[in-house]
């Protein structure tokens, strides 16, 4: 039984969310993304060679094999388990769905930065941030550590939570895992540098396509979360004008998708994100997002986490309403 946009499928997805929130990713269990990463790394060493054209063809072939193989293998596994016993398939799909989500992991990683940063322990905070970003963190101050954490939480609200849910709602665990394969490919070989510029071209472009709609839906949910938190909590978020400001800021980001949630969070918090990052000592300058109405400080990380949780809860709530409405319409038509 492979779930999708049905009431039974929605129930299983909600259970997978609960499993991720409570348990997360136990290190004692094999994680599909780790296995996908090892496969990619092995073939990258073998295939990433030759002329630029040969590298592009090899990279395209790797992308097709990894994404198609992950989606097909998970579909076949669930089909076989369904024949053995439907209960086995349900348990397997529940676990597979939970592995595509990073609600607990993202929250834990951000709080690992918040704790030492709140205590003024910058070396520990830099080390914790270095576990979740690729930029150099050795010399960052509180504001820059905060910026890195806020940007990471905002961006990963899409590819670590909303986008896997989006694809799970359409095609269950096989499609959600295929998306994670796309995302893993992009994170490993989708860089615009001498080594990966050609080999990772197909992976980067496919990731852009896969995240296009989820990024914009997540941005809308972040804005709604900011509005609701302003109305029903002690937080005072700048939701007025955030939509128009985000539409102006987001296209300046080098990624066609990451800029949307980052710009929205920057607008809601009243801070400025983006700027100069260093990667192995080399400066990388990006357009700024938002306006520096207040300085970045550690409290902004906790607020960003509240926005993250509000966004995925709204995403699921709206999905339930849409699916219920579609099913009622179809039932009436029949």
Q: So what's the pLDDT on residue 1?
A: 44
pTM of the model as a whole: 0.94
Mean pLDDT confidence for 90-104: 96
The pair of three-digit structure tokens given for residue 106, joined into one six-digit string: 């993202």
Q: What are the DSSP calls for 219-245, one per residue?
A: HHHHHHHHHHHHHHSS-----TTHHHH
Which of 229, 231, 232 has its CA nearest to residue 269?
229
Residue among 179, 159, 176 at smallest CA distance from 78: 176
Question: Residue 294 gets which letter from DSSP?
Answer: S
User: Judging by DSSP bridges, how do beta strands 272-279 and 282-290 pair with one another?
Assistant: antiparallel
Question: Over the chain, what is the mean pLDDT?
Answer: 94
Residues near 192 by Cβ (< 8 Å), separated by ≥ 6?
A: 204
211-239 average pLDDT score: 96
Task: Write out 189-215 in H/E/C secondary structure.
Answer: HCCCCCCCCCCCHHHHHHHHHHHHHHH
Q: Quick one: DSSP state of residue 250? A: G
List pLDDT tens digits, range 39-88. 999 999 999 999 999 999 999 999 999 999 999 999 999 999 999 999 99
Q: Pick 204 or 28 by higher pLDDT.
A: 204
Q: Domain residue spans in the chain?
A: 7-333
């Amino acid at each position: 039984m492979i779930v999708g946009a049905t009431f039974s499928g929605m129930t299983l997805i909600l259970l997978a969310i609960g499993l991720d929130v409570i348990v997360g990713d136990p290190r004692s269990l094999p994680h599909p993304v780790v296995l996908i990463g090892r496969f990619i790394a092995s073939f990258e060493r073998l295939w990433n060679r030759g002329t630029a054209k040969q590298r592009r063809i090899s990279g395209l072939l790797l992308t097709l094999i990894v994404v198609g193989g992950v989606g097909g293998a998970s579909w076949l596994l669930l089909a076989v388990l369904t024949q053995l016993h439907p209960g086995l398939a349900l348990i397997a799909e529940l676990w597979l769905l939970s592995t595509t989500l990073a609600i607990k992991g993202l929250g834990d990683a951000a709080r690992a930065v918040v704790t030492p940063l709140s205590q003024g322990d910058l070396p520990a905070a830099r080390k914790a941030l270095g576990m979740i970003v690729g930029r150099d963190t050795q010399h960052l101050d509180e504001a820059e550590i905060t910026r890195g954490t806020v940007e990471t939480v905002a961006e990963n609200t899409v590819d670590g939570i909303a986008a896997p849910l989006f694809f799970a709602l359409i095609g269950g665990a096989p499609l959600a895992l295929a998306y994670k394969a796309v995302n893993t490919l992009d994170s490993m070989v989708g860089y615009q540098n001498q080594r990966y510029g050609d080999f990772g071209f197909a992976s980067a472009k496919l990731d852009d396509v896969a995240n296009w709609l989820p990024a914009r839906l997540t941005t809308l949910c972040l804005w709604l979360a900011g509005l609701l938190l302003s109305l029903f909590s002690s937080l005072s978020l700048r939701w007025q004008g955030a939509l128009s400001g985000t539409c102006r800021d987001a296209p300046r980001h080098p990624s066609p998708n990451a800029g949307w949630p980052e710009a929205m969070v920057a607008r809601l918090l009243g801070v400025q994100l983006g700027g100069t990052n260093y990667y192995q000592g080399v400066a990388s300058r990006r357009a700024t997002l938002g306006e520096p109405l207040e300085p970045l400080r550690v409290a902004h990380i906790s607020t960003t986490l509240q926005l993250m949780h509000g966004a995925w809860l709204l995403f699921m709530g709206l999905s339930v309403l849409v699916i219920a409405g579609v099913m009622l319409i179809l039932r009436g038509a029949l």
